[in-house]
């Protein structure tokens, strides 16, 4: 028997509660941005958004599930940055209709409620691998990138060369034959990566499983669903154009930060009621050119649709989540130098005594 959500009137702001048989449990919905279960230690932006929630009245089951899914968000998950669009589509539709896993955080709340069973996760992983194969083939054919995976693959690999072609064709073969867990796949990645990253094999023998970037559960030593896609990303970065000036970790970080920035700009402008055509400055970066930036903004606005108070609160939760996920490392990021990406949060905090 799966757990069931507790009646909303008993649930504290910023948390979710479920009960299974006679046992209850509480989940912190902000844990993927701030590592504390003490509401007094949450920052002013979180308190602002919780205050918005307090004025909404009772939330529907769908709204609560959407918020629970948002608490899973992880920026290094294979579905990123598509995961942000998925959340925007659900907010816009006000329905929880895409119960896919978008990260290994959230402390397994949706798992407890009966979502993310082994069959669903297997289908999702197969879909991610199919996306890689399609994007790798598009890169070989020099097609214009369209999907988020296309942009990642093209960005990581750079210009087509015969050496890269041979390596990518081998990778496509192994993915298509479902040989990701075998020795040939491991060797394909290790051989190219050890030439650029001297400690790659050292990582492979530790909990990091051979990758310079990991999700929450990977860092705890678990073999989560991110394993194969992260290994693929390592190989793409090592065989690709990038890596001459920056390490794998730095290059992957740029991909993450650039997508965080443009998606934050898009959500923020929707919250401010600024149409895509009226945004004064769009950031353009290594992975996000002007055309791609405009496309992201239009897609986010279209997905979110017409504003109402519940959608406004959910979008504010999403903006804060996108901005602050994994920010406990206290490193400066691109979004910190682009205040237009989170101006809605700043302006609304300035108007309240909470900040």
Transcribe 292-355 into DSSP letters: HHHHHHHHHHHHH-S--HHHHHHHHHHHHHHHHTTGGG----GGGG-GGGSHHHHHHHHTSTT-
Q: List CB contacts of 111: < 8 A, sequence separation 6 or more.
A: none
The predicted structure's pLDDT at residue 348: 94
Whole-prediction pTM: 0.93
Strand 23-28 and strand 15-20: the pairing is antiparallel
pLDDT in tens, the chain (355 residues): 689 999 999 999 999 999 988 899 999 999 999 889 999 999 999 999 999 999 999 999 999 999 999 999 999 889 999 999 999 999 999 999 999 999 988 888 999 999 998 899 899 999 999 999 999 999 999 999 999 999 999 999 999 999 999 999 999 999 999 888 778 888 898 888 877 766 565 455 444 444 445 565 555 555 566 778 888 998 999 898 655 567 777 888 899 999 999 999 999 999 999 999 999 889 988 889 899 999 999 999 999 999 999 999 999 999 999 999 975 567 789 999 999 999 999 999 988 755 5
Q: Are 77 and 226 in contact (CB under 8 A)?
A: yes
Beta bridge partners of 17: 26
The predicted structure's pLDDT at residue 1: 63
**Nearest CA among 23, 21, 102, 119 for reference residue 65:** 102
At 27 the three-state DSSP class reads strand
The predicted structure's pLDDT at residue 272: 98
The predicted structure's pLDDT at residue 199: 58
């Amino acid at each position: 028997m799966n757990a069931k959500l507790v009646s909303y009137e008993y649930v504290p702001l910023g948390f979710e509660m479920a009960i299974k048989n006679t046992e209850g449990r509480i989940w912190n919905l902000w844990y993927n941005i701030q590592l504390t279960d003490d509401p007094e230690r949450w920052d002013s932006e979180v308190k602002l958004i919780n205050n918005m929630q307090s004025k909404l009245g009772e939330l529907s089951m769908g709204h609560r599930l959407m918020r629970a899914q948002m608490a899973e968000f992880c920026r290094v998950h294979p579905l990123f940055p598509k995961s942000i669009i998925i959340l925007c589509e659900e907010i816009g539709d006000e329905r929880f209709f895409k119960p896919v896993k978008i990260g290994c955080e959230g402390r397994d709340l949706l798992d407890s409620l009966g979502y993310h069973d082994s069959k669903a996760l297997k289908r999702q992983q197969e879909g991610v691998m199919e996306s890689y194969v399609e994007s790798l083939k598009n890169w070989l054919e020099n097609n214009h990138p369209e999907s988020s995976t296309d942009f990642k693959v093209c960005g990581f690999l750079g210009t087509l060369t015969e050496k890269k072609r041979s390596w990518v064709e081998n990778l496509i073969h192994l993915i298509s034959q479902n040989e990701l867990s075998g020795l040939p796949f491991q060797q394909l990645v290790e051989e190219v990566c050890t030439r650029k990253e001297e400690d790659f094999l050292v990582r492979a023998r530790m909990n990091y499983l051979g990758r310079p970037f990991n999700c929450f559960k990977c860092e705890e030593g678990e073999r989560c669903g991110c394993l194969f896609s992260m290994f693929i990303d390592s190989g793409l970065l090592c065989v690709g154009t990038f890596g001459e000036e920056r390490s794998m970790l730095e290059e992957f970080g740029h991909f993450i930060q650039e997508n965080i920035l443009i998606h934050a700009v898009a959500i923020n402008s929707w919250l401010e009621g600024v149409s895509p055509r009226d945004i004064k400055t769009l950031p353009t970066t290594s992975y996000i050119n002007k055309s791609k930036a405009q496309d992201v903004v239009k897609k986010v606005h279209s997905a979110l649709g017409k504003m109402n108070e519940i959608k406004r609160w959910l979008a504010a939760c999403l903006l804060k989540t996108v901005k602050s996920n994994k920010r406990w490392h206290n490193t400066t990021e691109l979004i910190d130098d682009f205040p237009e990406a989170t101006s809605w949060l700043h302006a609304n905090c300035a108007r309240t005594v909470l900040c």
